[in-house]
Chain A
Amino acid sequence: MTALNNNKNSRVTDSNKVSFIFDGKKYFGFDGDTIASALLRNNIKIIGRSFKYHRPRGIYTCGIEEPNALVQILSEKDEPNTRATVKKIYSGIKILSQNRWPSLKNDFGYINNLLSPIFSAGFYYKTFMGPKGFWKNIYEPLIRRSAGLGKPPKEFRSKSIHHHHNVDIVIVGAGLNGLLAASKFIDTDYDVLILEQDNILGGSLNSSQKIKTIDNLDTHVWTKKTEDLLKKSKNIKILKNTLATSYNQINHIIALEDNSVGKPLASHKPELILHKIRTKHTILSNGHIERLISFRNNDLPGIMLAGSFEKYIFRYGVIPEAEPIIFTNNSSTFSLLKSLVDLGCKPKAYIDVRDESSIEKKTKTILKTNKIPFYFSSEIEGCDGNKKLETISIRNKEKQIEKISGTMLCISGGINPDVHLFTQSKGLIKWDEKYLTFKPETAFQNTITIGSANGSFNFKRIIEEINEKLSLFNINELKIDLEIDCPEDLNIMELWETNNEKKSFWSKSFIDIQNDVTTKDLHQAVSEGFDRIEHLKRFTTNSMGTDQGKISSINSLGIVSKILKKNISEVGTTIYRPPYAPLSFSAIAGRSTYEFYDPTRKTSIHSWHVKNRAIFEDVGQWKRPWYFKKNDKETMYEAVQRESKELRNAAGILDGSTLGKIEIKGKDALEFVNLIYTNAFTKMKPMTARYALMLGEDGMIKDDGIVCKINDQHFIVTTTTGGAAKVLSDMEEYAQTEWPHLNVYLNSITEQFSTFNISGPKSRAIMRKVFSDVDFSNDKFPFMSFKKVNYLDTEVRILRASFTGELGYEVYVTPKYGLELWEKFFRYGENLGLIPYGTETMHLLRAEKGYIVVGQDTDGTVTPLDLNLNWMIGKNKKDFIGKRSLSRSDTSRKGRKQLVGILAVDKSKIIEEGQHVVKSSSIPSKIKFPVKYLGHITSSYHSPTLNHYIAMAMVEGGNDLIGKKLYVTQNKSSENISVEIVKPVFLDPENKRLLS
């Protein structure tokens, strides 16, 4: 049988034809069609293959809950797992079915169906345990190719943006209940936001004829009229195509708006808008979801939920089949039956599990007058057919199997209020014995549930319910007349699965159609001990995937409760977690993509670095020159060796602008600095500087830097590049929380200065040329002192300090003149051998000198004592952060790891950073006991000046091991390198170069 168009009373009419491509073939649908309704119009029943067994699958529902009909949109950058039941077509859309190879009709993976015994519950966890290597080389590639959903796209599909809202009331779902609630707020002082997932308002008014008229108006006319009134009201805003996906703490709702419904992707505007809404009250009128019934082969193409079938007729104007068979356990199918008959169609059979007396009279009358075969006290045992529904086996009231032929079967296993958002908001749900479903019980936030979302399935009561539940807002009472044409009650009888008689691999009774979980898997999981519902979910993969088991998760609870002989309320549900429906990562990312993801910070010299072939290193958000390539051929190793050598021979200049700089001012600045840093600053002369350490209260090194004292009320300190923000935060914390009596002001001045480090034996000569009126002699400008120097119309601060071990100066200048001054250095310095150098050379040079890098040689477990930096501790100070911890039993014990130097006995051997320091010369192939670890290599370089490798390490009791031999492990070798432990200063231990 073929599909018919319903032009009489549907929301999609045949006015505008739209062409689309499905699996390479061209078809026509109508403007407003979803992919699914358009395919049904074209009598296409198979739309994909299933996840595990590759069984042919058709369209099962008509909305967001769809388990089967997932497609890939080729015309939208291969967007995968798109629900065909939601996505609207447009002219030129290209659609591909998923998870089939080589084609939808002949699918190779169908063999999995035959292998199904090994794909049963828990197969991921236990089937492929051995032999060794099989998983990686055979099973995994095979499973990856044949199981799964669509292919991931190669690029971002969408541009998306975020909108923020602060409102009084959010109404989720603009169906009958949502519209009625909203209309109460017209022209009130409440700020109201209405979220509707469809592109038209009306919800179930569009998808059934259960309500005939509202205030004597046709429902379509009433919806339009109400929409107009809402739009005119200045306090109300309606967002269509917007799905509420998360309901978080403090009435925070996330909703996704599809801004390109029924249109191809436009390059100039956002396709997705993520709405972040903070509201005072939330009204959930988001309706209900129908559920299935499990029977043998209940996944065959041609089987659909009854409510969805009805929705296709009225919402999309397509009757998928004129003579469907209906199978139900409740009264909701009355309206489908009635609608079909009204449209001149005649269901082929009506199968109801309830006994004749409990079926409402209305239904029986229609069945009798239209001579529709009627099976009460009956159920479907199973279905058969070659890739589509052909035969239906009915177990009649005499428990005999009767077979009838049919190509379309509409089933209803009951109705669930859509409680996902309600439970996300931490509301309490409760099992309802009358309706056999979970209903909202107690709200945790300011949440009001109305209509079928509240489990109120009786239309007669809805006006009363809305007036009652919204009475807290003190707004007008609704007085509306509804003409209802459906049974008053659901009158449901429990039926989760039917017994099936045919036993073969092909016969499966599915509970989770998307994940190919069968009712047998549930039985098996329970028998293997996975009887807690959360365990069972993970073991079987039941209610996972893109649909999260929306049409079947309650059924699985029903089945499990029967196996366990418990009540469903004792079994409980799994936790409903956001998002309600899949949320594209690009929607979450919004504008935070590519260069907007994380800002890039560049120094004022950046353009010069680029021009001079700098290779950059990311340090925090900063771009720092790592090394400068002399020419395209030069490798990093060669560049670093060259830079190091030339600096020690002549001079080098480093862009140190990224170093954190903090200004500390105030009457009590000196006392504050004394408390923050380990060193003693009281006797320090103005205009001098000190290398200083900052500890945590646990005594461990947190940061280091140089403290410059302008006077007792004014200090400037530097921090590591990565530590700048944290150090300022910590200082602020102590200033506010522990020492509020101290008068100090803190200010980050990192960006106020460009900083250059000029270093090397020729640096004094160069400085003299650049700043000709400054006396750079050792007497007048000693190590660790600084001067303020006029430069153009500004002031430059020059500090004599060094991180390379050579004579060196740091120059602080306003970024306005940064590049100009940098270039000036090269104008005057180039013929003296001045070269630019990067962070890698800086690291190498400081290692030759045994200077540490916080975060490389230290790791948060290292005290100053561990580094032999006792001289930096102001022992006579009464207190500083971390001081007391330095005398704790653990920090003062012997045998802590201490900083040492490491030299290979064979100096041509490379010692790798991170390798272990051990006692034995090799690692035995069979290890009986753990190899004793003494420490690890923290820094390692080839020194071009010494012409051999040097390394630093943290080694247990290192100070007592100087001169001893130990071993260092190697990558991919059981032979260890023989090394000598030395003092961690490899060059100029007398500081001759530094003080020259």
Chain B
Amino acid sequence: MLVINCPYCGERDQSEFSNGGEAHVARPKNPETLDDKKWSEYVFIRLNPKGIFNERWVHTHGCRKWFNAIRNTSTDEILKVYKLNEEPPSIGEFDTTLKTPSGEPDLGSGNFTVKK
């Protein structure tokens, strides 16, 4: 279980939070002006990268506030949390190598624990 540092409450167990997927996908201001393709990209398409990811969390069983976090999805390390009204930190601040515990390749997975 992860420990997540709520910007309002401090460190709490992951079980108090819910994940909200990719961050910084703003709802279009004038949906009616978008064509089907553009609108469906907003509704259905989200990134799911291996590595550094800006994502949304909500402290459901706590202050109920939404906030953003930067997580390395390959190690599950939460590198930074920031409030909604804060600018996203630049990715360059972080080690973007796809460090995984078992040294897996970028794609796929498997037990490479001992094969390094």
Q: Contact residues of A with B, CB < 8 Å?
A: 248-250, 252, 278, 423, 426-431, 438, 444, 533-534, 569-570, 572-575, 697-698, 729, 732-733, 736-738, 740, 878-879, 883-885, 888-889
Contact = CB atoms under 8 A, between A and B. Distances in A.
Contact of A740 (B32, B58, B85): B85
A430 B114 contact: yes
B101 A278 contact: no
Nearest to A732: B64
Interface string B21-46: 00000110011101010011011100
5 contacts: A426-B102, A428-B113, A572-B111, A732-B66, A878-B32
Contacts of A879: 30-32
Contacts of A572: 111-115
Contacts of A569: 114-115
B113 A423 contact: yes
B66 A736 contact: yes
B84 interface: yes
Given A737-B56, A879-B30, A883-B32, 20 more contacts: A423-B113, A427-B101, A428-B101, A429-B113, A431-B114, A534-B111, A572-B113, A572-B115, A573-B111, A573-B113, A574-B111, A575-B111, A697-B27, A698-B44, A732-B64, A733-B66, A879-B32, A884-B32, A885-B43, A888-B39
Contacts of A444: 101
A156 B1 CA distance: 27
B2 A738 contact: no
B7 interface: no
Contact of B76 (A249, A736, A883): A249
B103 interface: yes
A428 B103 contact: yes
A438 B76 CA distance: 26
A429 B114 contact: yes
Nearest to A739: B27
Point out which of A278, A431, A533, A697 has the most chain B C-beta atoms below 10 A from its C-beta: A697
A426 B101 contact: yes
B100 to A, nearest CB: 9
B39 A250 contact: no
Contacts of A423: 113
A250 B2 CA distance: 6
B20 interface: yes
A884 B116 contact: no
B79 interface: no
B80 interface: no
A573 B42 CA distance: 43
A133 to B, nearest CB: 39
Contacts of A888: 36, 39-40
Dominant secondary structure of chain A at its interface with chain B: mixed
A784 to B, nearest CB: 29
B32 A428 contact: no
A165 to B, nearest CB: 13
A426 B44 CA distance: 34
Contacts of A533: 111
B97 to A, nearest CB: 14
A573 B2 CA distance: 26
Contacts of B84: 736-737, 740
B91 interface: no
B3 interface: yes
A429 B2 CA distance: 24
A697 B42 CA distance: 9
Contact of A697 (B43, B113, B116): B43
A278 B3 contact: yes
Contacts of A426: 101-102
A352 B116 CA distance: 34
A733 B115 contact: no
A738 B27 contact: yes
B48 interface: no
A731 B27 CA distance: 14
B43 A729 contact: no
Given A428-B101, A884-B32, A736 B114 contact: no
A427 to B, nearest CB: 8
A889 B36 contact: yes
Contacts of A697: 27, 42-43
Given A444-B101, A569-B115, A732-B64, A698 B31 contact: no
Given A250-B2, A426-B102, A697-B43, A884 B114 contact: no
Contact of B1 (A248, A427, A729): A248
A429 B115 CA distance: 9
B19 interface: no
A861 to B, nearest CB: 14
Contacts of A575: 111, 113
Contacts of B27: 697, 738
Contacts of A885: 39, 43
A445 to B, nearest CB: 9
Contacts of B36: 888-889
